[in-house]
Amino acid sequence: MTPYENFSFFIWMLVPIVPAILLGLLGVPGRIRSLWLICSTLFMLWVIYRPVTSLLQATGFFFLSYLIVHFFLVFERSERGKQAEILKPAYYFTILVSILPLILVKLNPYASILGLWQSPIGFLGISYLTFRTVGTVIEIRDGLIKEVKFLDFFSYVLFFPALASGPIDRYRRFIGDLDKKLNRKEYSELLADGINHIFRGFLYRFIIAYLINKHSLAWLNTVHTGMATFQYMYVYSFYLFFDFAGYSAFAVGVSYILGIRTPENFNKPFIAKNIKDFWNRWHISLSFWFRDYIYMRFVLNSAKKKRFKNKYTTSYVGYFLLFGLMGIWHGTELQYIVYGLYQALLMTGYDWLERKNKTLHFWKKGQVWDGLAILVTAHFVFFGFLIFSGRLF
């Protein structure tokens, strides 16, 4: 059962939520709430993963992830692990093993066609479980995580409100919430905010997105004229936002009710004044994950080793790496690859124009210019979503 897809899921979710509310309003210690979260996770995994083969795959993936994290943590703290020439290959090997199941899933359609293999792995949320595991390994390597307890890691990786499509939390932040004791007043405020998010989710996903799909998108999918494609670009963009932002609002709202302040995923993305601003507002947890763990590390490592002649070239190559991988993560179909390259071009172009504007001052400041910037940025974004939709291919 896909989370937040139909009303029956919300009925099932009352089982973990109602006791969580009672525990929160009673102001019980954080560790008691965390034990209930473990029980809730076990129950909701049974609800979400049908048939049982999916449940077994998700469970097996979790145990593999924990073993990877545990052994890397032990190795990193050992005498051999303190030797840079040994630790570095071990680190990259650990990352590779962590992402290997996801790679197999992404390549499975092509492998099946070529008769190479048929991946037995493929369950709801494998991407986001992978992101959480890899992020934990990286922060262990950075010395930010010194201990990973089994039950804590279980609650973090398989946190059911954000299991299917995020938001992507960070291990240290998540565990801080898990351990925190909330008094009745603090929890009441969190509960109210959580309920507000859930109502917003219903408004966005089950009313606005539903109406957009029923009265516009469904019809436009059957018409393939130039004007219909132009209209489709706008309609699909708003449908995508309200559907995905609605899902994220549900995930954040349920998380709050369980006492976990899962980070927001959207912040008024269509009022962004430039493409960088947009990616600070759209699918925030994913874009920040790629920024922190891929782009910044590539840029810093390249600067240290002087791979490119200047910092701007380094940054531009980093954009293509970041968005190229993000595009492939969405899927290996052509539209996703082109979408990733398109976003990299936008980021590179904006960075170049921003630098030129410092000397030429062709883009002014003021409300009119800000409004124009929002309008231009929105249309670049909308065209990107048109690419993403696959309608042009």
- 50: CB partners within 8 A, 6+ apart: 1
Closest CA to 157 of 132, 126, 127: 132
Note if the bond before 101 is cis, omega within 30 degrees.
no
Distances (CA, A) of 201 to 112, 119, 183, 204, 265: 38, 34, 27, 5, 13
Which of 283, 330, 361, 379 is flagged as catalytic?
A: 330
Closest CA to 48 of 298, 251, 270: 251
- How crowded is the C-beta side of 57, counted as CA atoms within 13 Å? 19
| The two structure tokens encoding residue 251 | 């995930």
One-letter amino acid at 246 equals G
CA–CA separation, 297 vs 134, rounded Å? 14
C-beta separation of 390 from 354 below 8 A: no
- 124: CB partners within 8 A, 6+ apart: 2, 48, 49, 54, 58, 163, 164
Look at the block and give the residue holding tokens 């291919």.
Answer: 393
CA–CA separation, 174 vs 369, rounded Å? 40
Closest CA to 272 of 377, 347, 363: 377
Q: Provide, for the chain, the percentages of residues in helix, strand and coil under a 3-state DSSP scheme, each rounded to the nearest 5.
A: 75, 0, 25
| The two structure tokens encoding residue 89 | 């290959």
DSSP H helices in 26-83: 30-48, 52-77
| The two structure tokens encoding residue 327 | 């595009």
CA–CA separation, 40 vs 19, rounded Å? 10
CA–CA separation, 351 vs 149, rounded Å? 42
DSSP state for residue 258 in the 8-state scheme: T
197 is catalytic: no
DSSP state for residue 82 in the 8-state scheme: G
Give the catalytic positions in this structure.
330
